[in-house]
Amino acid sequence: RKEVEQDPGPFNVPEGATVAFNCTYSNSASQSFFWYRQDCRKEPKLLMSVYSSGNEDGRFTAQLNRASQYISLLIRDSKLSDSATYLCVVNGGGSYIPTFGRGTSLIVHP
């Protein structure tokens, strides 16, 4: 089992839709979690950190469920510009080595 797993998608949604992605992790000692966005052939860029209490940034909401070992990203009122690949990152155990999921592809259509 991979350390960090994501559904690759693609998730194909109309503009204005709400869409959610999950990311599961295997190391229960993981300490920090992030969501990144990657556009085609570009570098990943930080979207948001994920805090234990959950956090929101505009249309984006991130949550952490330690009991079930997953993090989630909710996007409300999807825009065409949200089309991208969303990567989750987990820093696990004592080494804190950041491990990436393979990413979830989102396509928002008119």
Partner 1 sequence: DAGITQSPRHKVTETGTPVTLRCHQTENHRYMYWYRQDPGHGLRLIHYSYGVKDTDKGEVSDGYSVSRSKTEDFLLTLESATSSQTSVYFCAISPDRGEKLFFGSGTQLSVL
Please report, as ranges, the residues that interact with partner 1 according to CB under 8 A.
31-32, 34, 36, 41-46, 49, 87, 89, 91, 95-103
Which residue lies nearer to partner 1 by CB, 19 or 89? 89
Q: Which is nearer to partner 1, 14 or 43 (CB)?
A: 43
Least separation in angstroms between residue 66's CB and partner 1 is 16
**Contact (CB, 8 A) for 62 and 35:** yes
Q: How far is the CB of 101 from partner 1 (least distance, A)?
A: 7
Instruction: Please report the DSSP string for 20-77 in residue order.
Output: EEEEEES-TT--EEEEEEE-TTS--EEEEEE-TT-EEETTEEEEEETTTTEEEEEE-S
